[in-house]
Structure 1
């Protein structure tokens, strides 16, 4: 413990701690508050800073590891009675401490936003905490190995850019940006990744001091390469998998029924508001039996749904209910009616859907931006949204006339 504390008090990296704390907390608090009350998104939000902490870890580890290659440092260290591993371990622990404390503090801050309501899904939170931990440990091991292989002026830069390449350019889930209820982090697989990253750090302790010796060392070098390969293999395994439905969804009943994941208990009140707005819709609009959150329904070999609440948007729920109502209302058009409709370049249904979406969302402007639309489609969207601002009787008359016209003209 004493050598560790001595290294912690003497390393220049300790001055980065306040900046790392501020960065971690700022990244968490600057996100929209939709994740409050959702364990999966809480853990994922607290884990996002691991991307930037990993970059710092890789560079700092490479810099720390390369300090021992100087002759005036290398020769006295080689003559010391203590083993190399005992001499290196306190330096490595000090580095890991400096990068993990801000990360775990950030996760604790995120925890405090969701813990008071204690929703279902705490295992999801633990999975994402471990996911970020594994990424940081892997970054430390990667940087340490790079620092031993490259000169001190290039090692930190190569460590940082190498880590950016691994986490961004390649398709890995070392760091994720959200933790929706329809996805489950595998605790066992993530634990294997943490163990593999720890073993890589342990293998780095056996690397010879000095770059010249490192390049000539066969056995320690091979061990480090094997450890790195094992860690890369563990990191390449998908540890966040889609969930396949649930036997106990939360279903809110109204003119239709909205079914949510148990972990989405927070959105029950939102579903009730949207369903309350369906009460005044004209009879021409047919109601589906149920609408489901994404991943709750199996269709063929896929698990699907009508809406996703990844960003906690009421517009997303309104859009899902709108599309389900539209599909039920124009069910007769499935037998060739849509071909006639599309050939005529008619945009009546699009206008109707945008009117209905805005009405179910409670008015205002959409929480998304539409792009890639033709001029006729853009006009239909604006016309539909403008109808939602008119008196209720006029809205219902327009909606009923639109439904009747489409059904008679194309789907009769």
Structure 2
């Protein structure tokens, strides 16, 4: 154990540990607090910093692995009675400590925030936490391998750059952004990925010192290539699966009822507020029986829904309720193979869009939307602004405008 402490006390990487710790915690605490009280989003937010820690891990591992590549260092090390794996292991473990310590601290902080209410879905959190750890171990192994194969000045750059490409330019689930209730991390597959990454690290330790020796060592190189192939395969298999709708769901009774995943219990109060705002709406707006969070109902062979709570936005729920009320109100336009909507589209009319944006803002309680719309054509943008502006006018004027708009669309296109 004293050998490991000696390496940790002597490595220059230790001076970066406080900066990595601050970075990890800052990335977690500066996110919107929608993830508080949601295990899936808590795990996803807490493993998000693994992207940046992984870039550092890949570059630092390549740098550390190349330290013993110089001839004046290789020869004395070869003469030592200890085997190469035993000699390299303390440096590798020291690097893992520097990389994993900030990640673990961030996970503990995020866990503590959500554990106070202990909502359903703890296995989601566990899966995302292990997913981030597996990514960091994999980044370390990949960087170590590059450091043994490439010159010291190129290895760290190659490690960091290729890790960025693997996460941003290639479609993988090494890092995720959100952990919605409709998705479930596959724990056995994530554990398999973690084991494959550890095997890759172990195989790299058996590579002989010196780049020229590595290229001539057929057996260790073959073992590393085999381990690398297994790791790439394990990393390419998707470990995030879509859940089927639950046997029971949380439905907030009202007109309409708003149904949520059991893991989304914290949004009950939000649903109650939106339903309270439907009470003063014109009766011409037809209420659907139920509105569902995404993934709760199966339509056309897929698990779908009316709104998603990926960012915890009240506007997302309000938008789902508004669109479903609009669909029910103008259901007559769907008769005769959507003949009414076809005529509506040909006319260039945007009355329904304006009505939906008015209703969305009204249900969300007013204020500034939690999203921005860009690239919207002129007529549609004008309709959106008209609907939002109408939501700020006196209630009597809003109701009169809404009734007139509904009557105009139904009589003009849907009769």
Same fold (TM over 0.5): yes
Equivalences for 1:30-109 in 2 at 5 Å? 30-109=30-109
Alignment partner for residue 346 of structure 2, among 343, 346, 355?
Answer: 343
Match of 2:122 in 1: 122
- Alignment RMSD: 0.9
Using the TM superposition, give the Cα deviation of residue 289 of structure 1 relative to its aligned residue in structure 2, in angstroms. Answer: 0.7
| Aligned-partner Cα distance in 2 for 1:166–1:386 | 45
| Aligned-partner Cα distance in 2 for 1:239–1:116 | 28
Using the TM superposition, give the Cα deviation of residue 184 of structure 1 relative to its aligned residue in structure 2, in angstroms. Answer: 0.5
| Aligned-partner Cα distance in 1 for 2:34–2:10 | 42
Q: Tell me the alpha carbon deviations over residues 53-84 of structure 1, each in whole angstroms, 9 at most, x when there is no partner.
A: 11111111111111111122111111111111
Match of 1:407 in 2: 410
Match of 1:380 in 2: 383
| Aligned-partner Cα distance in 2 for 1:90–1:409 | 78
Using the TM superposition, give the Cα deviation of residue 246 of structure 1 relative to its aligned residue in structure 2, in angstroms. Answer: 0.8
Runs of 4+ in 1 over 6 A off after TM superposition: none
Using the TM superposition, give the Cα deviation of residue 340 of structure 1 relative to its aligned residue in structure 2, in angstroms. Answer: 1.1
Match of 2:192 in 1: 192
Using the TM superposition, give the Cα deviation of residue 115 of structure 1 relative to its aligned residue in structure 2, in angstroms. Answer: 0.9
Match of 2:334 in 1: 334
Q: Does residue 278 of structure 2 align to residue 275 of structure 1?
A: no
- Greater shift, 131-140 or 369-378, is seen at 369-378
Match of 2:153 in 1: 153
Q: Tell me the alpha carbon deviations over residues 272-302 of structure 1, each in whole angstroms, 9 at most, x when there is no partner.
A: 0001111111110100011000111100111
Match of 2:370 in 1: 367
Flag structure 1 segments of 5+ consecutive residues without an equivalent.
Answer: none
Question: SS of the residue aligned with 1:120?
Answer: coil
| Aligned-partner Cα distance in 2 for 1:400–1:277 | 17
| Aligned-partner Cα distance in 2 for 1:56–1:371 | 35
Q: Does residue 235 of structure 2 align to residue 229 of structure 1?
A: no
Flag structure 2 segments of 5+ consecutive residues without an equivalent.
Answer: none
Q: Tell me the alpha carbon deviations over residues 337-369 of structure 1, each in whole angstroms, 9 at most, x when there is no partner.
A: 101111111111111111111110001121111
Match of 1:141 in 2: 141
Q: Tell me the alpha carbon deviations over residues 378-412 of structure 1, each in whole angstroms, 9 at most, x when there is no partner.
A: 22112211221222222112211211111111111
Equivalences for 1:230-245 in 2 at 5 Å? 230-245=230-245
| Aligned-partner Cα distance in 1 for 2:376–2:71 | 66
Equivalences for 1:239-278 in 2 at 5 Å? 239-278=239-278
| Aligned-partner Cα distance in 2 for 1:97–1:57 | 11
Using the TM superposition, give the Cα deviation of residue 264 of structure 1 relative to its aligned residue in structure 2, in angstroms. Answer: 0.6
| Aligned-partner Cα distance in 2 for 1:390–1:85 | 74
| Aligned-partner Cα distance in 2 for 1:396–1:19 | 56
Q: Tell me the alpha carbon deviations over residues 96-120 of structure 1, each in whole angstroms, 9 at most, x when there is no partner.
A: 1110001000111111211111111
TM-score scaled by length of structure 1: 0.98
How many residues align? The count is: 412
